[in-house]
Structure 1
Amino acid sequence: MIYRLLILVFLSIIVITSCSHLGSKNERNSPIIMQTKDSTSPKVVLLVIDSLMDEPLQKAIQEDKAPALGFFLKQGQYSKGLVSSYPTMSVTIDSTLITGTNPDKHKIPGLVWFNEDEQRIISYGNGFFETLKYGFPQVAQNSLYQFNNVDLDSNVKTIHEELDNNGVQTASINALIYRGNYNHTLKTPKILAKTTPLPDQYQTNGPKILSFGDFIKLDPKNKHVVNRLGLNDAFSAQEFKYLLKKDLLPEFTIMYMPENDHSVHIKGPMTTKGIEKLDKHLQEILNVYPKWENALDNIIWIIIGDSKQSSIKKNKKEALIDLRKSLSNYHVVKLGETVRNNDEVVITANERMAYVYKINNGFSIKDIASKLQADSRIAWIAWKENEMIQVISGANKEVFQFKPGGPYKDVYDQTWYIKGNSAILDLDIKSNHHITYRNYPDGLSRLYGALHSHKGDFLIVDAKPGYEFIGESSPEHAGGAAHGSMHKDDSLTPMIVTGTDKSIEHLRIVDIKSWILDIFEGDIIRSN
């Protein structure tokens, strides 16, 4: 019994799931200027608030329940239309954030996916019961070591690696993705190391300054480790205050605040409880200064959400799409079991999207797609065929096809060849071959990235708003909220910026890294 409780404690901290409108036409088609007063220091703080959304943020500020966020918003520039990565799951989003690439380059497909080479499902921690079936030592290995040091493609450079190569010191506080140029030791908390099969420590590569809960911390007096072993907002704030008070804050810092996500999953997308709680921690940080305004004198603050969440219907039978039932004619691989010769299909549900893999030659990927097409809760189904992406939906029997390059150009200056019924992805195509996105912002690039994120013969299913995919022992959020899909209800998140006049070309998470590098390049040039 004690052993099971310890497993529960550990798994509760490795569940790392996370996710408005795009703005005016001018905002979408020209560089966005984030400008307040000039900064006299190159220090940049990137604060990532899990599942921060425009409506509850504005509500909390208007009701004076988030004075710190209100302060930053008043002093800076604000947008509610920052486009997330896809799938809209924190592990993929954060990989995109620090590499400046989509999953076709950084190779983190989602929270759960199937590794064809190893013939096993990779999970970074997707709920207690699902993790039990995978085996929590393996999930711990995936999330504490493999994620940053193996699966994140070595051919792409993180912002920590690039800035360090340019002589700029960086820090990461509780961020899920933090790969850098320096070796660190993550120490397993003693109670877990002594009572579970977990090793005493993990070696990992991170920035010069790395903090990750009770596994590695900066402030020896930081006692906020009981809740999720330090992977919480109070721990993050305490570590940041330590750097401030010791005058150790480097030129660039990423700080991750995870707890709002948990509140939204349970209470729904309009709850302000998580925002109110994290704002108290931001107030503690601002109170380190003589006046809050002093925090703006030497720091460029970039405050973003990672994705949005959308409501899930209360009725479980209606809301939850059990892909095992839809594919009952196939032999589906069971969680935690070795793939056998008669296995045909693998399902990895990532909340409101899922990967479905064909691992047997006795049928085609189209056969699976046709089975799923009958479910009216599924918005669309996509897969690769030769060089083209194929997309179908239950509402329309036609096919939409696309690939990079061609005569069509979208609002992000990306060119495409397209054919068929573009209404399936809700594209608005003008007579001059100009593409704008409606329900699926940056949909072509994001879908292409997910379908090229890893090897295998698989398809993607994306749910309509209100619905969520489940597989064997998947987490469920009926009556609450979830993310994962490419729909704008999961994809658009706020952004607050103070202290720089450097423009960001497009409001997408994939563009933030290059924008920050440009800020530092300008500071370095001015200092020389």
Structure 2
Amino acid sequence: MIGCTFQKDDELKVQDVPNVIQTKTTSTPKVILLVIDSLMDESLKKAIEENKAPALAFFMNHGRYSNQLVSAYPTMSVTIDSSLITGTYPNEHKIPGLVWYNKDQERMINYGNGFFEMMKIGATQFAEDAIYQFNNVDLSPHVETIHEALEKRGRSSASINTIIYRGNYKHELKIPEIIEKTTGLPDHYNTLGPKILSLGALIHQDEKNNHLVHRLGFNDSFGAEELIYLLEKNNLPDFTIIYFPINDHTVHKNGPKTIKGIEKLDKQLQNILNAFPNWDEALNGITWMIIGDSKQSSVNDDKEEALINLSSALSNYSILKLGEKVNKSDELAITANERMAYVYKIKQSISLQDILSKLKADERIAWIAWKENGKVQVVSGKADANTLQFKPGGKFNDIYNQTWSVDGDSSILDLTIDNNNRIQYGNYPDALARLYGAMYSQKGDFIILDAKPGYEFIGESSPQHTGGGAHGSMHKDDSLAPIIVTEMNQRIDHLRMVDLKQWTLNLFDNAKNE
């Protein structure tokens, strides 16, 4: 059995050691993937060192660990989960962020970015986007989820409280009566998911699961009870993914160094391990993968300094209001995803250079990107900055075996290119593929803005996290998450969220050939 030891950040860099996770067992167990929202290396280690997370310590001591798992971009849960379950970036799966502007529908899509935005959009539209449209309309039909791929291989799967879950089985999501009466939603939605689907109060396996009141079951206790139920009923499928959301809320409020959310989460993991005769039995026939979905970085305490108000910066334009469809006077739409943002040109006569000149004046913006002449153009937040241009294909290659054409000032994205045309990534892991993915995630003319550490974008009614934590940006402070894998006979070649789907499929494919 291979144990785990903590490694300093500078001892384990993804570009230097791309083949980080490798274990040595020859059998192929069932796989349980635990996704812990905003789980981070520093706070995880602190919780374990203070004996506040015995379950996570158990998994780490019986597996391999890295703190270099590269998230998707934007580093918002909906986009990350879409990349995790489809193995693609947003240019393929088409979920651009938590908040975005749909050009065809001429309205903003909001999957859950705060109470005030929800009220302006309207509870009915918000609930339909988050409950139904996400999986059944917006997620591209041209990508295959891990549930769909496993079904083709004759493997069963389950999704517990994971918001992206599309599969091949028909399910009925029952809308709680209080929501049905207050929103005008139908009493149910038909949806497609894996063989086993749990989604809070909407659908669950254990009829006695009583953790449905808090956040309508979208909480850690509910998820843990559902998994325990499958274990006790001996109904665990080949692959199970379960999402634990509560740590994210704690970090947003208290900042990245807090361990309160990890302590609470670990108690649920202890409950799961206690469902076995002893904890060691949990490793018998089951491979556990525990990942964070992204980091959060600190947001400065001073609201005036920390919050980048794009509506104010672009106040000379007519900006689309939340909850409204486009009218003739609207010129721009703004969607803030915490530490990144999209600005859309609704009226084509608007000058892109004029928008850029107003935004580049703000030194809190790290860089701005847009599409032009078939390339992604990137400029830093400086008035006299040079430009970086890139597109897929070309003479430069990176550690992920991706090739690129790159011209201009590579320092904008902290790229280093050596004499062998090899690209090394610095502050922005997998920068070219992740930015390209976001840039081609949707229709229309728009720009992407990424904030420097310490700052956060706000739109019309965005939530803000001054004095706490936030994510969304492509910076490594938001992008690198921990991963723990217990014994497995399949090497993870690249530590990226987008690669975990294929790695899991390879695991099952190789088992078939043994």
**TM, length-normalised to structure 2:** 0.97
2:508 maps to 1:517 = no
Partner residue, 1:56? 43
**Alignment partner for residue 221 of structure 1, among 208, 219, 224?**
208
Matched AA of 1:46: L
Partner residue, 1:278? 265
Distance 1:229 1:24 in 2: 40
Are the aligned partners of 1:22 and 1:492 in contact in 2 as well (CA < 8 Å)?
A: no
Matched AA of 2:220: D
1:94-493 correspondence runs (5 A): 94-395=81-382, 397-493=385-481
Matched AA of 2:414: D
**Alignment partner for residue 63 of structure 2, among 66, 76, 91?**
76
Matched AA of 1:210: L
Q: Deviations over 1:410-455 (max 9, x none)?
A: 1211111111111111111112211111100000000000000000
- CA distance 1:402–1:22, change in 2 (3 Å): farther
Distance 1:26 1:143 in 2: 34
- CA distance 1:332–1:27, change in 2 (3 Å): closer
Q: CA deviation at 1:504?
A: 1.1
Matched AA of 1:510: V
- CA distance 1:159–1:22, change in 2 (3 Å): farther
- CA distance 1:275–1:36, change in 2 (3 Å): farther
Are the aligned partners of 1:380 and 1:394 in contact in 2 as well (CA < 8 Å)?
A: yes
- Unaligned 5+ segments in structure 1 are 1-19
- CA distance 1:224–1:499, change in 2 (3 Å): same
Are the aligned partners of 1:34 and 1:498 in contact in 2 as well (CA < 8 Å)?
A: no
SS across alignment from 1:307: coil
Q: Deviations over 1:124-157 (max 9, x none)?
A: 1110001111111101111111000110000000
Partner residue, 1:11? none
Q: CA deviation at 1:21?
A: 4.6
Matched AA of 2:301: K
Q: CA deviation at 1:196?
A: 3.5
Q: CA deviation at 1:25?
A: 5.4
1:12-31 correspondence runs (5 A): 21=9, 24=12, 28-31=16-19
Are the aligned partners of 1:36 and 1:76 in contact in 2 as well (CA < 8 Å)?
A: no
Distance 1:361 1:242 in 2: 55
Are the aligned partners of 2:12 and 2:68 in contact in 1 as well (CA < 8 Å)?
A: no
Distance 1:502 1:62 in 2: 29
SS across alignment from 2:222: helix
Q: CA deviation at 1:306?
A: 0.3
Partner residue, 1:498? 486
Distance 1:429 1:452 in 2: 24
Identity %: 61
Q: CA deviation at 1:26?
A: 7.7
Q: CA deviation at 1:22?
A: 7.8
SS across alignment from 1:515: helix
Q: CA deviation at 1:187?
A: 0.5
SS across alignment from 1:503: coil
Q: CA deviation at 1:379?
A: 0.2
| Number of equivalent positions | 506
- Unaligned 5+ segments in structure 2 are 1-7
- CA distance 1:109–1:21, change in 2 (3 Å): farther
- CA distance 1:95–1:66, change in 2 (3 Å): same
- CA distance 1:458–1:200, change in 2 (3 Å): same
Distance 2:493 2:233 in 1: 36
Q: CA deviation at 1:29?
A: 4.8
Q: Deviations over 1:33-90 (max 9, x none)?
A: 331544x453111110000000000000011000000000000000000000000000
- CA distance 1:27–1:498, change in 2 (3 Å): farther
Distance 1:203 1:220 in 2: 20
Q: CA deviation at 1:461?
A: 0.3
Matched AA of 1:185: E
**TM, length-normalised to structure 1:** 0.94
Distance 2:261 2:18 in 1: 34
Partner residue, 2:495? 507
Are the aligned partners of 2:145 and 2:166 in contact in 1 as well (CA < 8 Å)?
A: yes
- Over the aligned positions, Cα root-mean-square deviation in angstroms equals 1.3
Q: CA deviation at 1:205?
A: 0.6
Distance 1:182 1:126 in 2: 29
Distance 1:31 1:477 in 2: 36
Are the aligned partners of 1:315 and 1:478 in contact in 2 as well (CA < 8 Å)?
A: yes
